[in-house]
Amino acid sequence: MTTLTMAGAINAGLRAAMERDDKVTLMGEDIGKLGGVFRVTDGLHADFGDDRVMDSPLAESGIVGTAIGMAMAGFRPVIEIQFDGFIFPAYNQITTQLAKMHYRSRGDIQLPVVIRVPYAGGIGAIEHHSESPEALFAHTPGLRIVSPANPQDAFDLMQQSIACPDPVMFFEPKARYWDKGEVDTARVAAQLDGATGPANATAEMGKARVARQGSDVTLVAYGPTVRLALQAAEVAAEDGTNVEVIDLRSISPMDSDAVVKSAKRTGRVVITHEASTAFGVGAELSARVTEQAFFHLHAPVLRVGGFSTPYPGATFEHEFLPNIDRVLDAVDRVMKH
């Protein structure tokens, strides 16, 4: 076990994957000698060289298109979109090429591309630097969407994503880059080096995690809001409400079975994420819970998220983001039924 920040855990996960497979390459804006805006790739260029850690032009569509070609040639590219709001120039490449090539070729072509996306708010950034676009990509079949909430998951999910034969969008909650935690650096290696190898690792990366056990309310979160959910659960416990917190980890495919199982036991569900609630991940999960656990619910499924406005400037971002008060208000509302 070693203590790492989330940024350090992602770095360690990238390093382990590159040491395991010389076909793993990194590409993105300023990721080489600089180590990236958030220094997530710090030191990798010095150790692996220009051929495997490549600075790219400021052209997101070109970065993704190049990665698609590299994957078709047998490489396993990991590319960085420097900030969440910069991904939209590459939207066409991701949704019409990367997501569909395997299906279009009847399985003959695999594109094991990982797209790293620092996303969400909480760092006081300027416009286009605090978006949460995960639902836009989760709506597209053919893409896996994951988001870690702690250093251990960041370390594990990064290596599992690189080993996965499918394209993976790896959404990194940038406000959590400096959160520290204990990381078992041997756990995922046992999966990847075992008899089933990448198949076992791919199965694991799609599973949700019970972050806190409870009996009264199921509180679901992922990425940046998992810590918020755990904090809200602790406050609720002071008033006698036992909240179970589920970390989705994978947005697509979504482990709704784990949430439904919890919902049938607690009878109450609250979902929180930073993205706007309208047409979001929470809406999809709410529909699944309602369809599969309707007769077990004591109250409607509630969602707590961002408002239906463009992400505001730094001065007002904390008015936009879900907070403990808003989450606890939703918990109180479902507990009244």
pLDDT for 192 equals 81
Contacts of 223 (CB under 8 A, 6+ apart): 119, 120, 147, 148, 149, 171, 173, 176, 273, 274
pLDDT for 80 equals 98
- Residues labelled as active-site residues: 129
Determine the average pLDDT of the residues in 120-145: 95
pLDDT-derived band of residue 188, with 50, 70 and 90 as boundaries? confident
C-alpha 313/C-alpha 297 separation (Å) is 38
Q: Provide the pairing of β-strand 209-212 with 243-247.
A: antiparallel
pLDDT-derived band of residue 195, with 50, 70 and 90 as boundaries? low
C-alpha 257/C-alpha 248 separation (Å) is 11
Alpha helices in the chain (DSSP H): 6-20, 44-48, 60-72, 91-92, 101-104, 134-138, 151-163, 187-192, 198-205, 226-238, 256-266, 281-293, 317-320, 324-335
Q: Side chain identity at 168, as an amino acid letter? A: V
According to DSSP, residue 28 is labeled: E
Third-level CATH fold of 2-205:
Rossmann fold (3.40.50)
Instruction: Please name which of 279, 286, 276 lies closest in space to residue 248, comparing C-alpha atoms.
Output: 286
pLDDT for 1 equals 87
Domain covering 209-335: architecture: 3-Layer(aba) Sandwich (3.40)
Determine the average pLDDT of the residues in 172-188: 94
* Boundaries of every domain in the chain: 2-205, 209-335
Q: pLDDT, tens digit, for every residue of 217-226?
A: 999 999 999 9
pLDDT for 197 equals 64
The vertex-68 CA angle with 37 and 204, nearest 5°, equals 75
Query: Is residue 180 pLDDT above 70, yes or no?
Result: yes
Beta carbons of 137 and 100 less than 8 angstroms apart: no
